[in-house]
Amino acid sequence: MIWQKGMDNWAAIADVAEYAGLIVKPVLPPPPQQQFFLVLQGQQQGPFDPQQIKAMADAGQVAPNTLVWTEGMSDWQPLQSQPVLANLIPANRTPPRLPDQTTTPGLATPGVTSPGLTTPGQATPGQTTPGLTTPGLTTTPGLATPGLNTPVTPGANAGQQFRVRSYCSATGKEGFGTGSTQQAAAQAAIQECVKNGGLPNCCPNSVTLVQ
């Protein structure tokens, strides 16, 4: 309080204009932040203030279901149940679903072999493809089988059986075949060679007539 000549009564210093600017108002410290304890990796840790918990959330160390406790709570509760903490967790920490992967008909996925399909130049051991002839082999009557020098005449040597050997130099595998014509015997020999582990583009290169 202050009184000076000319004043009727005592007055507060702040109410006197010439003295009001001399008063230094105290700077009050900010109110303390609410402190929380957390259960991390099965152990109680803390206390932490909301800003510290936000930093931990940004680093992926806490989740909405992380248990928390603060003064006034009767038991541990999920972090997301506390209004002051719930909005500190990013809304979506789960990556989006990958787009569906479709396969274009007629195209194979790299590195994946479909059952029943063989890579060109490679044969499946013990399997032959129905209706397909071995590359490099023709069955036209009157034409010679590659590797056989004796031309075949349709109808000649009726009842005769030919025996042919097919050999793959790349794998060392061979096959034998018999037939009423050299082409049929060669076809059987090449298929047997491939079945035994020879390469389809290798077995037809060495086809010989066995006497």
Mean pLDDT taken over the chain: 73
pLDDT at 91 over 80: no
Instruction: Considering only residues 131 and 194, tell me which one the structure prediction assigns the higher pLDDT.
Output: 194
pLDDT at 194: 92
pLDDT at 31: 74
Strand 43-48 and strand 36-40: the pairing is antiparallel
Q: How confident is the model at residue 36 (pLDDT cuts 50, 70, 90)?
A: very high
pLDDT at 67: 94
What is d(CA 176, CA 95) in angstroms, rounded to the nearest whole number? 60
pLDDT tens digits, residue range 134-167?
444 443 333 344 445 444 444 445 578 889 999 9
pLDDT at 81 over 80: yes
If one looks up domain 36-86 in CATH, what number appears? 3.30.1490
Instruction: Provide the residue ranges of all domains of the chain, joining segments of one domain with +.
Output: 36-86, 136-211
pLDDT at 8: 78
Task: Calculate mean pLDDT across residues 43-68.
Answer: 90
pLDDT at 122: 47
Query: Tokens for 15?
Result: 């109410």
Query: Tokens for 94?
Result: 């789960």
pLDDT at 1: 73
pLDDT at 103 over 80: no
Query: Which one, of 84, 90, 82, lies nearest residue 62 by Cα?
Result: 90
pLDDT at 176 over 60: yes
Whole-prediction pTM value? 0.33
Lowest average pLDDT, out of 26-35, 68-77, 109-118, 173-182, goes to: 109-118
Task: Calculate mean pLDDT across residues 68-90.
Answer: 88
pLDDT at 94 over 60: no
Instruction: Please classify residue 187 by burial: count the beta carbons closer than 10 Å to its beta carbon, then call 0-12 exposed, 13-18 middle and 19+ buried.
Output: buried
pLDDT tens digits, residue range 177-208?
988 888 888 999 999 999 999 888 888 888 88
pLDDT at 87: 82
What is d(CA 184, CA 180) in angstroms, rounded to the nearest whole number? 7
Q: How confident is the model at residue 74 (pLDDT cuts 50, 70, 90)?
A: very high
Which letter, b or e, does each residue of 40-79 get, where b requires 16 or more Cβ atoms within 10 Å of its Cβ? eeeeeebebebeebbebbeeeebeeebbbbbeeeeeeeeb
